[in-house]
Amino acid sequence: MHHRHLYIDGAWTTSTSRTDIDVIEPATEKVIGSAPGGTPEDVDTAVYAARRAFTGWAGTPARHRAAYLRTVADGIERRGPELAELITREVGTPIGFARMAQVGLAALAFRTAAEVGESYPYEQHQAPSLLIREPFGVVGAITPWNYPLYQVAAKAAYALAAGNTVVLKPSELAPLSVFALTGIIDEAGLPAGVFNLVSGVGAVVGQALAAHPDVDFLSFTGSTEVGKTVSRAAAGTVKRVGLELGGKSPAVLLPDAEVSEVVPRAVAAAFLNNGQTCCALTRLVVPRARKEEVERAAARAAGAMRVGDPLLPATQLGPLVSAGQRDRVRRHIQRAQGQGATLITGGAEPLQDLPHGYYVRPTVLSDVTTAMDAQHEEIFGPVLVIECYDDEDEAVTLANATPYGLAAAVWSADPDRALAVARRIQAGQVEINGGGFNPRAPFGGYKQSGNGREHGVLGLEEFLEVKAVQL
Ligand code: NAD
């Protein structure tokens, strides 16, 4: 798992830096692999390869591009168990969830992008104009570590389906599965230069990609803070920038919701991928009259979670991705208590039976108000906060009372009432009563959660420029 080469112009290529970045397994704190720390010169080489490949790829019929993407999806599925184990080892995701979400959703995104891309009407008459949608050119993609394959799929599969070429910089914390994916893309036989991988740190490789004059579109997923930095770096070239950023998403329990059914599901949703999910529903907004009942149910559900080795099938909560992330989350818990939040279960203390690994106790905090950081700052760990409202207007006000707007949930015995509340919530996705996953539904944020949409038709259109020809 020690990768020595970048993937540029259809070949595994030596980086100009010759320094490698170690990858640490969060469950054992041991080095399990490494990836090259790329340089701005590597980015130049990759961008020019992508530029040279662009005309040919854009001119390839959409159904042929789709066929390549399906071959990649087949490859991900064929190597599914190996990829899931890799992601569990580099991220800490419990293995069952890694198989289903980390790998399954990545394959599904490649397949869905193929379908959407081959059936899309790239030319439409709007008399007296002909609207032509065409690829931008070279797409620079920067991705986070929490869903390393799925986040790449959301960008690369759709950018490629639309006829763009891609230079990808994955997170330095979890690049190993992306190297495996690149092997699958290589085996699929995409023309040289259509997909390129330059690993390395954000401030070097990511910065160079964002500022590069020959990158036409910069697609970024990560924290809001770095999203702002990337936007500034890209501004000099006026390139299009797509941002998929952080979240602090609410689950609103209306007074008629069944607490004993809803709260365990809400706790599980908040702690998906050990709480390291951008759209995790980490705020439970509940009627004040039901507070004690909710606290008891949340304490039971969180307290019953099996924390431990993420490679064991029974584990529900693994370690956080890094020591830095663990320490940051623990500080958040302590600060919330210092600001007046009530600890219902969990806490910042280490788990005695897990001396190694970056574990944090599944934690529930109550009596959280808008005056506390834990109400509106993304914690990105297994920490659920409970906020109370007195009437529906206040529930909506609280739900919207953060700088973010990525996701939300509403629970009610009355679906119409839930929908009416959903309409008032500022978020890119709202689920009602645990509503099902739709791989074609657009995903993205309001407010500081971002400015774009990924997946489905809108996810394809992100990567298409519009030309109006007046006839
Ligand atoms: P991050 O912002 O630290 O890093 C994201 C990527 O940006 C990494 O590849 C990193 O190397 C790179 N980067 C860092 N500094 C850079 C710079 N100066 N210039 C260019 N690139 C730079 O985020 P993370 O810790 O990897 O991921 C967690 C964050 O991502 C959370 O905030 C989470 O909510 C967010 N996220 C959002 C979505 C979404 O779809 N909205 C999905 C997943 C994760």
Encode the chain (471 residues) as per-residue pLDDT tens digits: 999 999 999 999 999 998 999 999 999 999 999 999 999 999 999 999 999 999 999 999 999 999 999 999 999 999 999 999 999 999 999 999 999 999 999 999 999 999 999 999 999 999 999 999 999 999 999 999 999 999 999 999 999 999 999 999 999 999 999 999 999 999 999 999 999 999 999 999 999 999 999 999 999 999 999 999 999 999 999 999 999 999 999 999 999 999 999 999 999 999 999 999 999 999 999 999 999 999 999 999 999 999 999 999 999 999 999 999 999 999 999 999 999 999 999 999 999 999 999 999 999 999 999 999 999 999 999 999 999 999 999 999 999 999 999 999 999 999 999 999 999 999 999 999 999 899 999 999 999 999 999 999 999 999 999 999 999
In contact, 264 and 428? CB cutoff 8 Å: no
Residue nearest to atom 18 of ligand 1 (CA): 203
C-beta 381 within 6 A of ligand 1: no
292 is catalytic: no
Tell me, using a 6 A CB cutoff, whether residue 143 lines ligand 1: yes
At 195, the amino acid letter reads F
Q: How far apart are CA 250 and CA 399, in angstroms?
A: 6
The number of residues making up the chain comes to 471
Q: Is 117 in the pocket of ligand 1 (CB under 6 A)?
A: no
- Active-site pick, 90, 172, 278, 388: 278
Q: Closest ligand 1 atom, CA of 229? A: 18
pLDDT tens column, 35-80:
999 999 999 999 999 999 999 999 999 999 999 999 999 999 999 9
CA 49, 148, 206, 20 dihedral sign is negative
Q: CATH 3.40.309.10 in the chain, residues? A: 250-438
Task: Kindly provide the residue ranges of all beta strands, DSSP E only, lying in 92-239, ordered along the sequence.
Answer: 123-126, 129-135, 138-142, 165-169, 195-197, 217-221
pLDDT value for 436: 87
Which pLDDT score is estimated for 368? 98
Cα(223)–Cα(144) distance, rounded to whole angstroms? Answer: 8
The beta strand positions in 360-450, using DSSP E, are 363-366, 383-389, 407-411, 429-432
For the 250-438 domain, the top CATH level (class) is alpha beta
Identify which of 273, 313, 381, 307 has the alpha carbon closest to the alpha carbon of residue 95.
Answer: 313
Nearest protein Cα to ligand 1, atom 8: 171
What end-to-end distance do the CA atoms of the chain give, in Å?
56
**Residue pair 146/84 in contact by the 8 Å Cβ criterion:** no
Q: Is 25 in the pocket of ligand 1 (CB under 6 A)?
A: no
Ligand 1 proximity of 232 Cβ (cutoff 6 Å)? no
Tokens of 203: 């401030």
Instruction: State the span(s) of the chain assigned CATH 3.40.605.10.
Output: 5-245+449-470
Task: Confirm or reject: Cβ of 375 under 6 Å from ligand 1.
Answer: no
* Pocket of ligand 1 contains residue 462 by CB under 6 Å: no
| The two three-digit tokens of residue 252, written as one number | 């609103």
pLDDT at 253: 98
**In this structure, what token pair is assigned to residue 375?**
């109400």
CA dist., res. 425 & res. 405, Å (int): 8
* Predicted local distance difference test score (pLDDT) of residue 254: 98
Q: Is the CB of 202 under 6 A from ligand 1?
A: yes
Residues 36 and 5: their CA atoms lie apart, in Å, by 7
Is pTM beyond 0.85? Reply is yes
Q: What is the DSSP letter of 103?
A: I
**Atom 40, ligand 1: which residue's CA is nearest?**
244
Strands (E), 358-445: 363-366, 383-389, 407-411, 429-432
Output the CATH code of domain 5-245+449-470.
Answer: 3.40.605.10
- What pLDDT is recorded for position 18? 81
**Cβ(210) to ligand 1 under 6 A?**
yes
What is the rounded distance in angstroms from the CA atom of residue 302 to the CA atom of residue 275?
12
Report how far ligand 1's centroid is from the alpha carbon of 139 (Å).
17
Residue nearest to atom 28 of ligand 1 (CA): 222
Atom of ligand 1 nearest to the CA of 321: 25
Whether the link from the prior residue into 403 is cis, omega within 30° of 0, is no
Structure tokens at 258: 């069944």
CA of 99 to the centre of ligand 1 (A): 23
Measured by CA distance, the residue closest to atom 12 of ligand 1 is 202
Partners of 386 in the β-ladder: 284
Mutating to test ligand 1, I would choose from 39, 93, 149, 171 the residue with most ligand atoms within 8 A of its C-beta, which is: 171
Cα 182 to Cα 172: distance, rounded to the nearest angstrom:
15
Calpha distance 162→167 (Å, rounded) = 15
Closest CA to ligand 1's atom 30: 222
Query: Computed from CA positions of residues 173, 282, 379, 298, in that sequence, does the dihedral angle turn out positive or negative?
Result: negative
459 lines ligand 1 (CB under 6 A): no
Cross-strand bridge partners of residue 126: 129
Other Cβ atoms within 10 Å of 33 Cβ, number: 19
Q: Residue 276: name the closest of 76, 101, 459, 22 by CA.
A: 101
- CA of residue 395 to ligand 1 center, whole Å: 30
| CB of 206 closer than 6 angstroms to any ligand 1 atom | yes
Task: Tell me the backbone φ, ψ of residue 401, rounded to 5 degrees.
Answer: -85, 50
Relative to the CA of 173, which ligand 1 atom is closest?
26
Residue 62: phi, psi to the nearest 5? Answer: -55, -35
Q: Radius of gyration (Cα) for the chain, nearest Å? A: 22
Count of helix runs (H) and strand runs (E) in the chain: 17, 19
β-strand partners of 166: 139, 195
Active site residue 279: no
Neighbouring CB atoms inside 10 A of 391's CB total 11
